[in-house]
């Protein structure tokens, strides 16, 4: 009887771990949507009350960057960090929000999550000027 309980426990724990792993590695890509012609530093500021949440649509976490290059969202930074290893894409969009051109991934190679003691200070910065340009 003890052996049966141990075997069932191992199977249950194995299934829970496999389910957790599958959920964490789901194929969600981060997709930046930039106004046509926008270059330079982009920043996403998290935990901003009253601002729209980031959305996952068709396995894409959409980051709609405004013309200012600074996006404020009520979403926590974990919306990105909990994805773990993930792919990133970027597109220029027209005034209607339609994708017009994919941006070469080498053009946005440098990004960083920045935070101080408060979650309200958390922001993600990313340069769209190529790998040699770092945002501050």
pLDDT tens track of the chain, all 136 residues? 666 444 545 555 545 444 444 444 468 999 999 999 998 889 999 999 999 999 999 999 999 999 999 999 999 998 988 888 888 999 999 999 999 999 998 888 678 888 887 777 889 898 888 766 667 6
Give the length of the chain: 136
d(CA 46, CA 51): 9
Q: Which residue has the tokens 């949507």?
A: 33
**What pLDDT is attached to residue 111?**
80
Task: Look at residue 73 in the predicted model and tell me its pLDDT.
Answer: 96
**pLDDT confidence of residue 101:** 96
Question: Looking at residue 11, what is its pLDDT?
Answer: 59
Outline where DSSP puts E strands in 17-130.
29-35, 41-45, 55-57, 60-64, 70-72, 88-93, 99-102, 111-114, 123-127
What is the structure's pLDDT at 63? 96
Are the C-beta atoms of 134 and 114 separated by less than 8 Å?
Answer: no
pLDDT at 24: 45
Q: Using an 8 Å Cβ cutoff, are 129 and 107 in contact? A: yes
List all residues 6 or more positions away from 43 whose beta carbon is below 8 Å from its beta carbon.
69, 70, 71, 123, 124, 125, 126, 135
Residue 117's pLDDT is 78
């Amino acid at each position: 009887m003890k052996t049966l309980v141990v075997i069932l426990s191992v199977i249950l724990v194995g299934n829970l771990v496999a389910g957790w792993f599958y959920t964490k590695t789901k194929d969600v890509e981060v997709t930046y949507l930039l106004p046509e012609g926008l270059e330079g530093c982009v920043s996403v500021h998290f935990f901003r009350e009253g601002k729209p949440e980031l959305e996952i649509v068709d396995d894409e976490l959409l980051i709609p960057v405004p013309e200012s290059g600074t996006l404020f969202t009520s979403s926590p930074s974990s919306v990105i960090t909990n994805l773990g290893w993930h792919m990133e894409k970027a597109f220029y969009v027209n005034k209607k929000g339609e994708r017009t051109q994919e941006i070469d991934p080498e053009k946005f190679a440098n990004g960083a999550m920045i935070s101080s003691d408060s979650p309200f200070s958390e922001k993600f910065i990313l340069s769209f000027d190529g790998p040699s340009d770092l945002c501050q």
